[in-house]
Structures are given as structure tokens and as C-alpha cells.
Chains A and B, each alone.
Chain A
């Protein structure tokens, strides 16, 4: 079956299998930042934004994307022009192996879109659905707080 949806701001019209999961569709479309960590919705490595809200792409049928906006990490920034959140993560030492990073940054992005001045506890609660085994979360929280401060200081340039 064919579906139409918006991927990182670009229209996509593509063939999918009826039982296919969004995780596999997105990776097939080249969005390799979307990771498979458990396939049961527990680890968060597959997290993407659907209409701006974080969901587990491993448990979402690809067919559900029809008519909606999907955002993956690729949609936030590139190596040449990284999003401030991505900069903050790289600066703070919040990226060790990097496998949890895409889901983590998208959830942080969502948090900051409605809570511009979160407390450390609020940050921790927001990212509690994204597992990280490398960092112990300490520098991830630092990175999100730094990015939030930059946003409040008006240092986030035009967003995608």
C-alpha cells in the first residue's frame, strides 16, 4: 500500500507493507539515526516525533504515519549546521557511544518546545523513557540545561 506523509519537512509518497513498523520504514528511507534497541518500546532508541510528540517507532505501524508529520534527528540539524541541542550534547560530553543520542535529543527538543526553563528533575523525568547505559545521564542533563539556557538567551537561530 502507498502512504503520503511529511518527513523532516519534506513530502514522502512511498510503498509500505501493511504490517511494517515505522522504525523499519524510516531506516529504509535512509533515516539511519532511528535505532533498533529492543523492538518492544522499552529502550527509547527508536523514538521519533509524530506531529511533534515523541513516540516509539518500533511499536508504531508505518501505516499510522499517513497524513502526519514525522521528525527524526536528521531533521534537526546536520554536521555543517547542527541544531543547538546537538551542539550542546557534543560539548557537554553527553555523547559516549551515541546510540541513545537520537531519541534522547528528540525528547529533549520536545521538552524545551513547551518548557523553556526546566529544572534538572524535570529534565530527568522527561528523558526517563530513554535508556542510556554509557553516561549515567549526568552530562545528558547538563547538555539539555545548557541548550535551554541558550534558547532563553535567544541563541537558537532559525529552526527547521
Chain B
């Protein structure tokens, strides 16, 4: 392999200095003259019909520009899920409906001259509700006689609306009952994930306005600009060509911005008032009315032979999708599709479950996307199995995990809301990841030792995981590269950088292919008018899918350059290569700078603009792999858990930008630690959120972070751009099970429900004496 000049190097992130110097590059950092403020009136009830809505007093208030509600907008069913068409989510949402289905659901929206007037207008809207009985827990959703949450006739794609089942799955391999009866040892465990929230630092926000050509421009904090365009067009009955969506710099997403949250309302208000409309979520709205992870109960039953070989796996999922079914089928599917192939050798598998509606906050996409919940249960079950077998849990995993050259029947059984596709693993450094991680945490030195330090008892635990790199045969990313006459390039990609650094990584891929430093590539991304299509930043797709598109486009541009240069150098293109900003003959060493090529093509001879586009749809989704090791200390007197050290070792193929890849892992690990130790959205008896703020819902601070070590073990993924796979999600799958397993090692308590609060840990330790 030729030495790489740009790939794998810690180049400066293209937006690093602008962001570090506070440049006004976020959605709300522009002031549009004449902008109005949009606000939403939200339901106080978990489940109710809107019997009557009277907005006249609000409309009469001076400074109110318009009020929208179900009576004065088109009724068109759609999904708010930012997924490719045909979205594998029910079309069960409406711009405004005659019914509200969760505390915080949209009732009406106002556009006004100022925030104060908008707030006053909301107070003047009179709504008469007929309160309906509500479904407040997922078990109750399918009970006979439960209220039907989606009883509207025009919703589509709901698996069984009468029983509140948004989506269901049932996948069988082999014969599960035979599998368990043939097993020497069987364990069964159920793990629970509650409501947790993404907490991006920047809440959802949008500015929608009509430009000089009367086109609707939506400047929004989104992960999916192209899906926003398509879905808003549908929701408002507008031609798609009349809409432009721009994603500026955004302040984090993690999946909550893979969704149409405010864009539809803001667009509707902007069209109606013909004024620019600014809308933003308060932090409280971010908790109540954005999206959350799907709370789940996952039951895992494992059967193994006494030598440790897994023989049967059952996974049974009850997923709570909240009031609307966005991402319900695909998150449910991923619980199994991203976990079960990891243990590919068991011949008998049964993966089944359902996603049910409740009158509770709406669940959607969240980093990990079902795999996180699945791994919590699976990796705890594996540890329990190891204990029952009398085998070290590390050895058990080494014995059973998938390896390069292998496949799993799950790949072809489960796709993204449809049939899957068989795939063979071409790159897998998981064994090295496991061994490296074990060494760094001190696995053999610490495990089972229960080292003590005052009231703190130490323990170590581990977990392994895989994810995917994009969605096979569905995700599409495209790139266009234009050559400037001075030998530099402009890279246009639909791919969405949400702080992940994708603009930089894609520039690196282009730069490496074109033989130039990364500074020679300037990137413009995520503008539906000017950049080619990309499904968006989700499913860990950008590096692999968009990266491959960039690679293909860059190769086309390279061919054009070599053809032009061939005319100048008098050598056939096959003897020329791009190196260090020049076209050089491999035979004679003669060369010309790229600037000369660009100038010549633009102005001098046989003029044309050297420009090329390419699209890429992944025919497979090569998984990144990771091994996680946690050392915890448990205060046995109070139940407090401290993570002392956390090691994450990952194989993402070739890390295009090692520092950015590490950053993804580190951030995901800390987010996972937050899940494991503190985060939970608490619900009231009426279905409202009791802790919709950062005072009560705690996320990790810098002072909470343990000693974190992340290591990237390269493998060469032949189908990835320069051997790369993606890495954005896999890191969040490790902490909950690794910490659970470490707590067990420390104090012998198995915890099946996160977060591992002092309350739960102490109860487990049985030091609670009633007074």
C-alpha cells in the first residue's frame, strides 16, 4: 500500500477555528429583518380529543400574525422520521390533529412580532378537550380494552392500530425449542432501558422564510436536510422543487435531529404569514416534545453447550414508541439485527418483539438505535451464562464472536424494515480489541479480587458490540467535485456534519485521491439546492457511504485531470499520477502543477469545467467492532457507583482521522456512562415529564468522567474508502453492560435496570435495614 499523505493524519478540522473563535455559524446566529417568532401550544393531557378550539382572541391580539390549528391546515398523514423513502415508519402524524396523544403534543401554533406577544397569544387560545383514558405503560398498551391511540382512519403503516402495536417483528432461524433442549446450560435475563434523552447542547431550532423567488427556505438544525425537504413538501402539499433546506453548523444531534420536529410548523407559519419565522425549542420542550430513546424491556435467553459454544439465542423485545410510531419498526429491528450477528455461531435463533404506542413522550432515533438496548441485555446475559458455565466471560466471548470471513443468518433475515441481505464480514479485529482492552484494564489482575479502598470495592466488567456502516441497498450518498482554475477543489456533499467532522473526513478522502493537501479542498455541505443528495447523518453512514461517493467522484475528476495533463505532457494518462499537487509522469518524472491543468481546462484549450459527480449505495454494511472494559468502585455503605477507568478499543477499519474517530468513541462512551449511572426521564401519573430540565436530569460533567482510554485497532475493510468503516454509534453500546458486569464483579449484585442509582445499588447490596 502506498504511503498515505492525508488519510490517517490529524489534519485540522475545517470548522475548528471558526467554531473556536465563536463565528456566527449556527442556525439562530443570523438576524433576518422582519422575522416573526413562532411558538407552539401544547397539550396538558396525555390523551384527549380537541372538541373545540377558538383562536379568535389570540388572532385579535395586536402583533399576532396568524394562528394555525387542525381547522385551517391541510390534513395529510406523514411520518416525522427522517428516513429514506419509503419511510419504514407509520404515517401517523399530522401537522395539527383533532386529537392529542401525549402531554406536550401540538395543539396549535402562533406567529407573532415578538416572543412576549407569542406567549400571550398562546394563553388566549381557548381549547376544550374531551379527556380520554390514557395508556401510560407499554404492557397496558395491548391489554384488552386499552384505549386505541391511533384510531384515525387515514393513518397508514401501523402494524395493528386496534391493539396499539406500531410495529412487530418475528425472525426465526433453526428451531429454538430444540436449541434450548439440546443446550447443557440455559440462562434467561430481562433488562430494562427507561426513557433517556439525547440532550444536544443546542435545542431544535429553525428559521423558515420565502426568498426572492418565492421559494420556501428552511434553515434548520437537522441531520437530514433532504428528508426534511421531502417530508415538509408532503406535509404542506407543496412541490418539492419549491423548497430549499440548509443545514448550518448544528449543536449536536445524536438522532433527535434525524426527525422533522419544527420544520413543518415553521414552514407552515412562514407560508401563511409570508414573513420569516424563527422557532426554537426551550430546554423543557426539548425534553418533552423532541424525541427520546425507545424505552425497552429486552428478554434474552441463551443456551450453550458445556464447552461454551452458544447453541440457542432468544431475544424478546417490548419497545415503547410513545405517542407516534417514528422509527418504531427500524429501532425494533436493530435490537436484533445489530446484536445477534455478533454471536453468529448459534444455529437456533428466535428474535421477536413489538413496538407499542403509549400516551407518553415520543421515542425516535438515538445513537445506537436499538442496538444499545439490545446489548445491555445480551452482554449481561453472556456474563450470567459465563458464570453458570464456570468460564471466564472474556473467554466465552472470544469463543463465540464473529470473525472475518464469517457470516450470520441474521444479515439476510433482518433489513431496515424489510428483508435483509446476506453479507460476509470482510474485516474484523475484535479479538485484538478484546485482548488489548483486557490488558489495559488489568482484567486478570483485578477480576474477582474485589480490591478494597475504604468503603469502596472495585470490580471490572466487559462488553463487546458491533454496529453497521450505513444501511445496505437503501442509504445513498452523492458527491460532486469541481476543480478551480488554481488547482484547488470544491467538494459538494449532501452529507451532514453535526460536529462529527464529516466535512473534514470527506475532504481528506478527496485530498488523498487527488494528491493534494486537505487545505486544497473546500467543502460545502447539506444544502438541498446546491449539494447532491445524501440520506443524512444516521446509521453510522457518513464515512462509509458518503465517503465512498467522494472517492468515486474524486477518481472521476482524477481521470479528467490526467486526460488534460496528458495533452500537456505528451504522455498517456496511464503513465501519469497525482502527487503533491502535481501531475507527474511515473516514467520520466516530468510534471506540471495542478494549477496549470485547471487553468488550461478553464481558459486555454478544449475548455470545459473539470467536474464530476458520483453516487454510492452500500451493497453491504461492514460493521465496526468494539470491546469495552470498565473498572468501577462501589461504595458499599451508600450504593454510589464511580467509574474509575473505562477502556474502549474499536476496529473502524482505517481511521480516516484518528483524533476525530477517538472523539466519537470518547463522546459515545461518556454518553453511555450517563445512561448507566444518572439519566432517566421520570414520568408523572398523568404522563407528563417530571424532570424536563438539566437541574433534575443529570448528564455527565467533566468532573464525573473516569480515566478513559480509547484505542483504535485498524483493520483493512476492502469495501470502505481507504479501508474505512464508520464509528459514530458503536461506542454507546458498551458502558451500560460493562458497568453492570463490573458492579457484579465488585459486590455480587446484578442490576437489570438502568440507571444504577445509589438507591438501586444499595437495595441490591441488601444493606437496607427497615427502621
Binding site for B on A (CB under 8 A): 31-33, 35-40, 42-43, 45, 72-74, 76-79, 82, 86-87, 89-93, 95-102, 105, 123-125, 127-141
Partner-contacting stretch, out of B18-26, B119-127, B430-438, B618-626: B18-26
Partner-contacting stretch, out of B331-339, B355-363, B696-704: B696-704
With A91-B12, A98-B15 known as contacts, the answer to whether A37 contacts B20 (CB < 8 A) is no
State how many residues of chain B have any CB contact under 8 Å with chain A: 57
With A89-B16, A90-B16 known as contacts, the answer to whether A133 contacts B702 (CB < 8 A) is no
Say yes or no: B17 contacts A131, CB within 8 Å: no
Please indicate the chain A residues that have their CB under 8 angstroms from the CB of B498 in the complex: 97
Please indicate the chain B residues that have their CB under 8 angstroms from the CB of A35 in the complex: 26, 201-202, 251
Say yes or no: A127 contacts B702, CB within 8 Å: yes
Binding site for A on B (CB under 8 A): 10, 12-13, 15-26, 28-29, 198-203, 249-252, 254, 280, 282-283, 498-501, 659-660, 662-663, 666-671, 693-695, 699-705, 708, 710
SS class, residues of chain B in contact with chain A: loop
- Nearest first, the 5 closest Cβ-Cβ pairs linking A and B are A97-B499, A33-B22, A98-B19, A99-B251, A90-B16
Task: Find the residue from A102, A123, A127, A138 having the highest chain B CB count within 10 A.
Answer: A138
Which chain A residue has the least Cβ–Cβ distance from B249? A98
Q: For the complex, what is the distance from the CA of A113 to the CA of B451, rounded to whole Å?
A: 40
Please indicate the chain B residues that have their CB under 8 angstroms from the CB of A101 in the complex: 19-20, 22
With A39-B283, A131-B201, A133-B699 known as contacts, the answer to whether A138 contacts B20 (CB < 8 A) is no
Please indicate the chain A residues that have their CB under 8 angstroms from the CB of B659 in the complex: 92-93, 139
Say yes or no: A136 contacts B20, CB within 8 Å: no
**Which one of B19, B280, B662, B694 contacts A131 once the chains associate, using CB atoms below 8 Å?**
B694
Q: For the complex, what is the distance from the CA of A85 to the CA of B297, rounded to whole Å?
A: 46
Say yes or no: B701 contacts A72, CB within 8 Å: no
Q: For the complex, what is the distance from the CA of A137 to the CA of B710, rounded to whole Å?
A: 13
Say yes or no: A97 contacts B702, CB within 8 Å: no
SS class, residues of chain A in contact with chain B: loop
Q: For the complex, what is the distance from the CA of A158 to the CA of B284, rounded to whole Å?
A: 43
Please indicate the chain B residues that have their CB under 8 angstroms from the CB of A125 in the complex: 702-703
Q: For the complex, what is the distance from the CA of A133 to the CA of B199, rounded to whole Å?
A: 7
Say yes or no: B667 contacts A40, CB within 8 Å: no
Please indicate the chain B residues that have their CB under 8 angstroms from the CB of A77 in the complex: 21
With A35-B202, A95-B19, A100-B201 known as contacts, the answer to whether A138 contacts B705 (CB < 8 A) is yes
Say yes or no: B705 contacts A137, CB within 8 Å: yes
Please indicate the chain A residues that have their CB under 8 angstroms from the CB of B10 in the complex: 93
With A40-B694, A93-B662 known as contacts, the answer to whether A137 contacts B21 (CB < 8 A) is no
Can you give 16 contacting A-B residue pairs, CB < 8 Å?
A32-B29, A37-B251, A40-B695, A93-B13, A97-B200, A97-B202, A97-B249, A100-B201, A128-B702, A133-B671, A134-B201, A134-B252, A137-B670, A138-B662, A139-B659, A141-B702
Q: For the complex, what is the distance from the CA of A102 to the CA of B203, rounded to whole Å?
A: 16
With A77-B21, A78-B21, A79-B18 known as contacts, the answer to whether A93 contacts B663 (CB < 8 A) is yes
With A127-B702, A128-B701 known as contacts, the answer to whether A79 contacts B23 (CB < 8 A) is yes
Beyond A99-B202, A128-B701, A133-B252, 6 extra complex contacts between A and B, CB < 8 Å: A40-B693, A128-B703, A133-B198, A133-B201, A136-B700, A138-B710
Say yes or no: B17 contacts A79, CB within 8 Å: yes
Which chain A residue has the least Cβ–Cβ distance from B10? A93
Which chain A residue has the least Cβ–Cβ distance from B695? A42
Say yes or no: B666 contacts A136, CB within 8 Å: yes
Please indicate the chain A residues that have their CB under 8 angstroms from the CB of B500 in the complex: 96
Please indicate the chain A residues that have their CB under 8 angstroms from the CB of B695 in the complex: 40, 42
Please indicate the chain A residues that have their CB under 8 angstroms from the CB of B660 in the complex: 93
Q: How far is the CB of A81 from chain B (nearest CB, A)?
A: 9
Say yes or no: A135 contacts B201, CB within 8 Å: no
With A82-B17, A98-B19 known as contacts, the answer to whether A42 contacts B694 (CB < 8 A) is yes
With A98-B499, A131-B694 known as contacts, the answer to whether A90 contacts B24 (CB < 8 A) is no
Please indicate the chain B residues that have their CB under 8 angstroms from the CB of A131 in the complex: 199, 201, 694, 699, 701
Q: For the complex, what is the distance from the CA of A134 to the CA of B666, rounded to whole Å?
A: 8
Please indicate the chain B residues that have their CB under 8 angstroms from the CB of A97 in the complex: 19, 200-202, 249-252, 498-499
Say yes or no: B249 contacts A42, CB within 8 Å: no
Q: For the complex, what is the distance from the CA of A98 to the CA of B501, rounded to whole Å?
A: 11
Which chain B residue has the least Cβ–Cβ distance from A99? B251
Q: For the complex, what is the distance from the CA of A102 to the CA of B20, rounded to whole Å?
A: 7
Please indicate the chain B residues that have their CB under 8 angstroms from the CB of A130 in the complex: 701-702
Which chain B residue has the least Cβ–Cβ distance from A42? B694
Say yes or no: B663 contacts A86, CB within 8 Å: no
Q: How far is the CB of A60 from chain B (nearest CB, A)?
A: 18
Say yes or no: B702 contacts A95, CB within 8 Å: no
Please indicate the chain B residues that have their CB under 8 angstroms from the CB of A141 in the complex: 702
Please indicate the chain B residues that have their CB under 8 angstroms from the CB of A100 in the complex: 201
Say yes or no: B669 contacts A37, CB within 8 Å: no
Please indicate the chain A residues that have their CB under 8 angstroms from the CB of B499 in the complex: 96-99, 134
Q: How far is the CB of A125 from chain B (nearest CB, A)?
A: 5
**Which one of A45, A105, A128, A133 contacts B20 once the chains associate, using CB atoms below 8 Å?**
A105
**Which one of A74, A79, A96, A129 contacts B663 once the chains associate, using CB atoms below 8 Å?**
A96
**Which one of B12, B283, B700 contacts A38 once the chains associate, using CB atoms below 8 Å?**
B283
Please indicate the chain B residues that have their CB under 8 angstroms from the CB of A91 in the complex: 12, 16
With A97-B249, A98-B251 known as contacts, the answer to whether A135 contacts B22 (CB < 8 A) is no
Say yes or no: A82 contacts B283, CB within 8 Å: no
Q: How far is the CB of A112 from chain B (nearest CB, A)?
A: 15
Q: For the complex, what is the distance from the CA of A9 to the CA of B140, rounded to whole Å?
A: 62
Q: How far is the CB of B476 from chain A (nearest CB, A)?
A: 25
Q: For the complex, what is the distance from the CA of A43 to the CA of B13, rounded to whole Å?
A: 25
Q: How far is the CB of A87 from chain B (nearest CB, A)?
A: 8
Which chain B residue has the least Cβ–Cβ distance from A121? B703
Which chain A residue has the least Cβ–Cβ distance from B205? A36
With A97-B249, A136-B669 known as contacts, the answer to whether A102 contacts B22 (CB < 8 A) is yes
